[in-house]
Amino acid sequence: MTNLNPTLDQAQRDAVEVLQNIISRPEPLKVRDRLAIPLQEMPELDANYRATSLEEVALGFTPEMARLEAMRCLQCKKPACVEGCPVHIDIPAFIHFIAEGDFQGAADKIKETSLLPAICGRVCPQEIQCQENCVVGKSLKSVDKAVGIGRLERFAADYERNFGGVAVPEVKAPTGKKVAVIGSGPAGLVVAADVRREGHEVVIFEAFHKLGGVLRYGIPEFRLPKEIVDKEIETLEKMGVQFRTNFVVGRTRRIDDLLDKDDFDAVFVGTGAGLPLFTGIEGESLVGVFAANEYLTRANLMRAYEKDKADTPIWGGKHVAVLGGGNVAMDSARMALRMGAKSVKIIYRRTEAEMPARAEEVHHAQEEGVEFCFLQNAKRILGDENGRVRAMECIRYELGEADESGRRSPVEIPGSEFEIEVDTVLVAIGNGSNPLIPQTTPEIKTDKRGRVLVEELTNKTFMEKVFAGGDIVLGAATVILAMGEGRRAAAAINEMLV
């Protein structure tokens, strides 16, 4: 426990005491009692320790903390939190189970609607979904004081994994029908589970040598331990889902081959948005400039952080600049610290208020020592005589009028250029749709940004028997939205195969 944030032992002692007081009271809790229960903070590793370690930062609630946090819920008759959840988990019901100490009951309740709760509890942006709507947060005038729905979801899922054992969903008798799922990210995993349950044969084709999509190669171990992704995939394996890794659909085989030659009855395309966007500024092809996605893939998937063992060691930058303000920027900045950087700067054109990254990730990055340089942007990257990055020229910005997104737009301040010394630049300004499948299968139509066009209710593409969902349809979005798309597509596939 020495690496814990030091105030947390006390927090656990407080939780035990408050819980005992509540349980020993004869009368039921009233609304005002519930609102008076102290919000339970998440135990975390100490910031100095964790900045050099891949261990998971957030450690999860103890049972006492979870029960207390659950007791803060008012069990609303018309729960606004459920409206904010893209997959409509019965939030008050699962929270009630936790408050009563029935943790497995809570996990079972969540699983009725959400397949990957241990993952969603860790990475979903609850503060702009369920928790934003929570009446407790509204009564206490801060979304930060809402019931910790995501933390409770994680608690229930971890309890099931650690103590109850994850139940393998029942699979109906074989139907003789075959479904190909392309891509093993959250969208593909959900489709595989929902289609397999109906008794259809399912094969997942994945371009990488490991399964999980961004859950594996993008989101770092310190936010989402890969053991959790492994467990979810193990459950699919036990259900009889088959996997073909190192298989690039569009190269190894095309979609029409899968349908016409390999006798698949339906295909789901869940190939994500893994195509990095670049800024186009001078110096972007110097050695030491990485797309943040590539940097994270090398670090996570190729385990480049195991410096002595890794087959593909990564360039160990000492002074790193990260361009962008989303989750990918936060993850790569925090990974750079863990890869041994002495200084890491986030360069962002707007201010903290406009940053798209989750507030929690920004806060964690700040605590770990990442420096935030707001109202600045890169103008060009400067190299040395060997073609390596040596510095970056930046320019200052101010905020002008609001643009069509409602955010105030950044405006350059002429003549405000200045140089910073860096040896590595990570570009995290966004990702586009993977183009290979639309390029090799023109029957699948896309919009101007390369996103596959689908029917709204069924996720069916313009090609017969082919469905699509997740980031390849939405553009770079979120895990829970990708899962929601997968669910819809799976229902349509199952209906088509009846």
Ligand X SMILES: Cc1cc2nc3c(=O)[nH]c(=O)nc-3n(C[C@H](O)[C@H](O)[C@H](O)COP(=O)(O)OP(=O)(O)OC[C@H]3O[C@@H](n4cnc5c(N)ncnc54)[C@H](O)[C@@H]3O)c2cc1C
Residue among 156 and 266 whose Cβ is closer to ligand SF4:
156
SS3 label, residue 189: helix
Instruction: Choose from ligand SF4, ligand X, none: what does 79 bind? Cβ within 5-8 Å by kind.
Output: ligand SF4
* C-beta of 80 vs 166, nearer to ligand SF4: 80
- To the nearest whole angstrom, how small is the minimum distance from the Cβ of residue 62 to ligand SF4? 20
Query: Using CB atoms within 10 A of its CB, is residue 256 exposed (0-12), middle (13-18) or buried (19+)?
Result: middle
232 binds, among ligand X, ligand SF4, none (CB under 5 to 8 A by kind): none
* Residue 357: burial class (beta carbons within 10 Å; 0-12, 13-18, 19+): buried
What are the residues whose beta carbons fall under 8 Å from the beta carbon of 19, sequence distance 6 or more? 64, 67, 68
Residues that bind ligand SF4 (CB under 6 A): 73-76, 79-81, 91-92, 134-136, 147, 149
52: Cβ–Cβ under 8 A, 6 or more apart, which residues?
337, 338
Distance CA 170, CA 196 (A): 9
Counting Cα atoms < 13 Å in the Cβ hemisphere of 177 gives 20
User: CB neighbours (10 Å) of residue 33?
Assistant: 14
Residue 410 token pair: 């950044």
Residue closer to ligand X by CB (options 300, 494) is: 300
* Residue 83 vs 234, nearer CB to ligand SF4: 83
Phi, psi for residue 34 in degrees, rounded to 5:
-65, -40
User: For ligand X, which is the closer residue by CB, 12 or 247?
Assistant: 247
Distance CA 201, CA 212 (A): 20
Q: Which is nearer to ligand X, 134 or 219 (CB)?
A: 219
With CB under 5 to 8 Å by kind, the binding choice for 337 among ligand SF4, ligand X, none is: none
Name the binder of 317 from ligand X, ligand SF4, none, CB < 5-8 A by kind.
none
Neighbours of 174 (CB within 10 A): 10
User: Is the Cβ of residue 328 or residue 463 nearer to ligand X in the bound state?
Assistant: 328
Residue 74: contacted member of ligand X, ligand SF4, none (CB under 5 to 8 Å, by partner type) = ligand SF4
Strands 389-402 and 376-383: antiparallel
Q: Give least dist CB 69 to ligand SF4, A.
A: 10
Pairing of the two strands 266-269 and 408-412: unpaired
Minimum CB separation of residue 403 from ligand X in Å reads 23
Judged by beta carbon, residue 145 or residue 407, the one nearer ligand SF4 is: 145
In degrees rounded to 5, what are phi and psi of residue 405?
-80, -5
Token pair in block for residue 311: 């087959």
Tell me the two tokens of residue 17: 């005491």
Q: Closer to ligand X at the Cβ: 137 or 250?
A: 250
Calpha distance 141→149 (Å, rounded)? 17
Identity of the residue numbered 475: G
Cα 65-35-156 angle, rounded to 5 deg: 30
Q: Which of residues 33 and 265 has its CB atom nearest to ligand SF4 in the complex?
A: 33
Min separation Cβ 275 and ligand X, Å: 10
Residues lying near ligand X in the complex (CB under 6 A): 123-124, 182-188, 205-208, 213-214, 218-219, 248-250, 270-272, 274, 293, 296, 327-328, 331, 434, 436-437, 470-472, 477-480, 482
Task: State in angstroms the smallest separation of the CB of 302 from ligand SF4.
Answer: 40
Shortest distance, CB of residue 11 to ligand SF4, whole angstroms? 21
Q: Report the partner that residue 222 touches, choosing among ligand SF4, ligand X, none (CB closer than 5 to 8 A by kind).
A: none
Minimal distance in Å, beta carbon 35 to ligand SF4?
Answer: 10
Compute the least distance from the CB of residue 84 to ligand SF4, in Å. Answer: 9
User: Rounded to the nearest whole angstrom, what is the least distance from the CB of residue 298 to ligand X in the complex?
Assistant: 13
Distance of CA 73 to the CA centre of its chain: 25
* Least distance from ligand SF4 to the Cβ atom of residue 134, Å: 3
Q: Measure the CA dihedral 369/370/375/377, to 10°.
A: 150
Q: Which does 378 bind (CB under 5 to 8 A by kind): ligand SF4, ligand X, none?
A: none
Triad 440, 296, 269: Cα angle to 5°: 30
Picked from ligand SF4, ligand X, none, the partner binding residue 207 (CB below 5 to 8 A depending on kind) is ligand X
Residue 185 interacting partner from ligand X, ligand SF4, none (CB closer than 5 to 8 Å by kind): ligand X
Q: Which does 468 bind (CB under 5 to 8 A by kind): ligand SF4, ligand X, none?
A: none
Looking at residue 29, the DSSP 8-state letter turns out to be P
